[in-house]
Structure 1
C-alpha cells in the first residue's frame, strides 16, 4: 500500500482521494493545510494519520511515499521542489508548472534524485476510452483537423463579478482559463497529433486581467486544430476530429465518456471502453503501478512518455500565453 500525502484541501483533492480508495493501492496518511482547523477537519474526514501546518515539517517528518499537489498553480514549483529534495514522489495537478524554466529546473533536480518520480495529473489521457480515441485517430487514412471544446462556467466567476479576485482567476497565482480547463484540450491535441509548428491564442480578458475564455489555433503541416475553452460560460458542443469523409466525435475532451467514429459511409461505430464513475481512477492505477515497480522497463517507458508529454504541454501552454501577452509574476522568478 502506497502512503499518500496531500497539499490542497479542496473538491479536486476530495475526488483524488476517493479515486485512490477505489484502487485499493493507496492510503492517505498525511495532510498539509495552512490552518490547524482545516488540517484537522480534512484529516478526520478522510482518516489520515497525521497533519501539518508547517510545510517544512510536512516534508521532513511526514510519513508518506508520494505527495499530491493541488495548491494554486503558482505554488506547484515550490512544493514539487521540496518534495524531490526530500525524496518524495510527486503527483502534481495540472498544469504542472507555469513556464518551461520551472520545468527545466525540476527536471534537473530529478536527475539529481534518480529514484524520485514526478507525474502530472492529466487524468483524461490515462483513461481506456482516450486510448481508443488515439488508436482510432492513428487508423484514419487522413486527418484534416479538429475542433476541441471544453467550456464550463466556474462558480468562482461569480466572485469576479462581485469585484473579487479568486485564485483561479488571479495572475498572481497563475490562474485563468488556459491554465485550467484549457490544459485538457491542449493535452489532447499534443497526445493525438504531436507538437504543432506554430500556435496563437486569442483570449477574452476579464476584470482580474486573467483570461476568462479563449480560442487557440494550433497549426500543423497539413491541418489546424482549434481549441475552444473557458470558465465564464457553458458549452454543449461536441469535439470533432475530421478525416476525409470520416469523423470522430467525442462528447468532451476532458470528461470523456462517449466517442463515436463515423466512417466514410456515415455509419456510426461507438468506441467501446470501460468508463469509471470517478475518472481519476485510471491515472491512479497507472501511477501506482509505476511506483510499485520503479525499475520495471515497461513502467519506465510509460513514465518517460508521460514526462515527455508533460514537458511538451508545458512548453505549448507557455507559447500560447506569450502569444496573447499574458504574463505571470512567476515568469520573473
Structure 2
C-alpha cells in the first residue's frame, strides 16, 4: 500500500523524484532547489550508471532503475517527468495511480485521448497533474496577460505574430542520416510538439481556444516536422506562429490592437514588453525584472513556486485553469499533425 506524505502547508519542501536526465531536468532541479519549495528525494533512470551520474550532480544518492519500485516509494509526494515524449503517458499513469502528483514536461502526452485519461486518473486519486508550460508562469507573461485582458494597453485585438524558431544542434544529426529522439515519429517528436507548443500555449493562455487552426510545415526526412507556419483563427483576428527546430528567427513577438502594438522579446524568458503608441510613434517599456539564469539552464523557478503552491494549498481552481490550457493545446497540435500526416504510434492505437 502506498502512503501519501502529509506536508505542513507552509514549511516542509515537497519531496519528489525525477524521471529523465537531460538538460531540461537539470533546469527543473536547479530551479526547484533555488525556490526552496522542493526537495530532490530520488532519481530514476533506466541504467544505474545514468542514475548515479545525474544523482551525483545534484547531491542525491537515492537511486532507482525500476519504475515499479519508484511508484511504491512512500517517501515521495511528487514526480517530475521529462523522458522522451512517447513514454510520458505510461510513466505518468503509473505515478498517478500510485497517488503521486505529477509534473509532466510538455508535450504532456502524444494524443488528447492519453491526456484525458491522465486527468481522469488524477481526479480519481485526488492528486494534481501539471503540464510544465514554464513561460506562462513568468511574471512578465502574467503582466502581459493582465494588460491584454483588461484592454488597458491595446484595446480590442486585431492580430498577433508569435515566434519560437531556434536551430537545434540535433538537426545536424538528422542531416547526417541519424534519428535523434526529438526528430523521431516513434518517440512522438517534431518541432510542433517540442517548440511550437510554446507559442501555441502562449496564444491559448492569452486569447483562449481558437475557432480553427492550420499548419504549413517543412517535413524532415524522418517524417516529423522541422518547423513551419501555424495560423490560429479567432473571432475577428488571427494569430500567426513561426516555429522551428531546423531554422532560426530573430524576430520578436507582436500583438496588434486598436491602441497600438505590444512588442515582446520572445514567448519564453520574457525580459521586454514594450507598448508602441501609434500616435506618438514611441514605445514604452512595461516589463519588470525577470529571472535570468545561467545557460544552458532555462528559467523554471516561477513555475516551481506556483506548482508547489497549487499542491500545498490544494488550489483546484488554478489547476483546472492550467488543465484547460493543456487540453486546448494538445487538441490544436494533434489536429495540426493529422492535417499533415504526422502520425505517431499512439495515434494508431
Q: Cα deviations across residues 77-127 of structure 1 (Å, max 9, x unaligned)?
A: 11110011100100000111111111111122123212x111010000001
Task: Tell whether the 8 Å contact from 1:200 to 1:324 is kept in structure 2 after alignment.
Answer: no
Structure-2 separation of matches of 1:86 and 1:177: 32
- What corresponds to 1:276 in structure 2? 291
1:314 aligns with 2:330: yes
Equivalent residues in 2 for 1:81-160 (5 A)? 81-114=93-126, 116-138=127-149, 139=151, 140-160=154-174
Task: Tell whether the 8 Å contact from 2:118 to 2:129 is kept in structure 1 after alignment.
Answer: no
* SS of aligned partner of 2:240: strand
Quickly say closer, same or farther: Cα 1:164–1:221, change in 2 above 3 A: same
Structure-2 separation of matches of 1:306 and 1:221: 23
1:226 aligns with 2:246: no
* SS of aligned partner of 2:262: strand
- What corresponds to 2:25 in structure 1? 13
Structure-1 separation of matches of 2:106 and 2:246: 19
- What corresponds to 1:326 in structure 2? 342
Task: Tell whether the 8 Å contact from 2:274 to 2:287 is kept in structure 1 after alignment.
Answer: no
- What corresponds to 1:196 in structure 2? 210
**Cα offset, 1:194, TM superposition:** 1.0
* SS of aligned partner of 1:171: coil
Structure-2 separation of matches of 1:245 and 1:301: 32
* SS of aligned partner of 1:307: helix
**Cα offset, 1:132, TM superposition:** 1.0
- What corresponds to 1:247 in structure 2? 261
Q: Cα deviations across residues 244-291 of structure 1 (Å, max 9, x unaligned)?
A: 350001111123221101123233121232311242000100011111
- What corresponds to 2:87 in structure 1? 75
Aligned pairs, number = 328
Task: Tell whether the 8 Å contact from 2:218 to 2:225 is kept in structure 1 after alignment.
Answer: yes
Structure-2 separation of matches of 1:61 and 1:141: 52
Task: Tell whether the 8 Å contact from 1:30 to 1:63 is kept in structure 2 after alignment.
Answer: no
List alignment gaps of at least 5 residues for structure 1. none
Structure-2 separation of matches of 1:131 and 1:10: 28
* SS of aligned partner of 2:41: strand
Task: Tell whether the 8 Å contact from 1:30 to 1:62 is kept in structure 2 after alignment.
Answer: no
**Cα offset, 1:316, TM superposition:** 1.2
Q: 1:2 aligns with which of 3, 9, 14?
A: 14
**Cα offset, 1:210, TM superposition:** 0.7
Equivalent residues in 2 for 1:279-294 (5 A)? 279-294=299-314
